[in-house]
Amino acid sequence: MKKLFLILGKRVLALLYLLGGLSYLASQTFYWLFIPPFKKERIFEQCKKAGMDSLPIVSLIAFFIGVIMALQTAYQMQRLGAEMYIGSIVALSMVRELGPVITALIVAGRVGASITAEIGSMQVTEQVDALQTLATSPIKYLVVPRLLALSIMEPLLTLYANIIGIFGGYLICVYRLGVSSGMYRYITFSALLYKDLFTGLFKALFFGMIIAFVSCYEGFKVEGGAEGVGKATAQAVVTMFILIIAFDCLFTALFYFIFP
């Protein structure tokens, strides 16, 4: 019993330490966000890495998610003769939940891990200390461009994933189930509300900030050379996945049950 409480206590302290570190990093980042000079080229470079370079994998996965949703829904809807409503189910699922969450998990695994490894390598080779020696804030130079890039590109990638997923459902309904193209479009867009689009994009924005803060925080914590970089990268990905799913659950409850 004593060991159980010790383990629980260590876990709770680790969680509090993580939340405290992320809060401090966030406060410093928002402070430096408004302090000139503003390096636009670094922001554009990070936007390319976070957005354009992620388009192929986001396209592929979003398309197959839409196809799978349509096929699975059709299995039940065909029994009821309600194939025309598959479009609305696919659209609502993509815009409210699957689009933001799947895109965030992809970006966390691809871009977030890369950021942690990059900053971690700079930390163990003392490049971060060199920035401070040159009177350059590591947060201003490393964190701010990545935060802005992920905050911009994550909602755009989510919007793109929504369109691709709905298109995947369109192909199944029109060319496999015999639903007319006009009917699919009408059912799909009549079911969507501005609230659905807003909540999905709000989630995406928040998920982008989570990815930026967690990946940079774990990178700055790296110790112990190459092995430490590997451990920090794995820890960052796990933490980002957990926080993305947890906050998705929280926002869904807030937007659709507590403040409907």
Residues 6 or more apart from 187 whose CB is under 8 A from it?
84, 85, 87, 88
The per-residue pLDDT for 57 is: 94
Closest CA to 69 of 160, 193, 166: 166
147: its two tokens:
């935060």
Residues 6 or more apart from 238 whose CB is under 8 A from it?
none
DSSP state for residue 35 in the 8-state scheme: S
- Buried/exposed code over 173-190 (b: 16+ C-beta within 10 A; e: otherwise): bbeebebeeeebeebbee
- pLDDT for 109-130, tens place per residue? 999 999 999 999 999 988 888 8
The per-residue pLDDT for 260 is: 67
Question: Which regions of the chain are under pLDDT 50?
Answer: none
Angle made by CA atoms 215, 217, 223, in degrees to the nearest 5: 105
Closest CA to 145 of 22, 36, 51, 39: 39
**Is the preceding peptide bond at 56 cis, omega within 30 degrees of 0?**
no
Q: To which residue do tokens 């080779």 refer?
A: 125
Q: Which amino acid is present at 126? A: E
Distance between CA atoms of 85 and 75, rounded to whole angstroms? 13
- pLDDT for 157-200, tens place per residue? 999 999 999 999 999 988 888 888 888 888 888 888 889 999 99
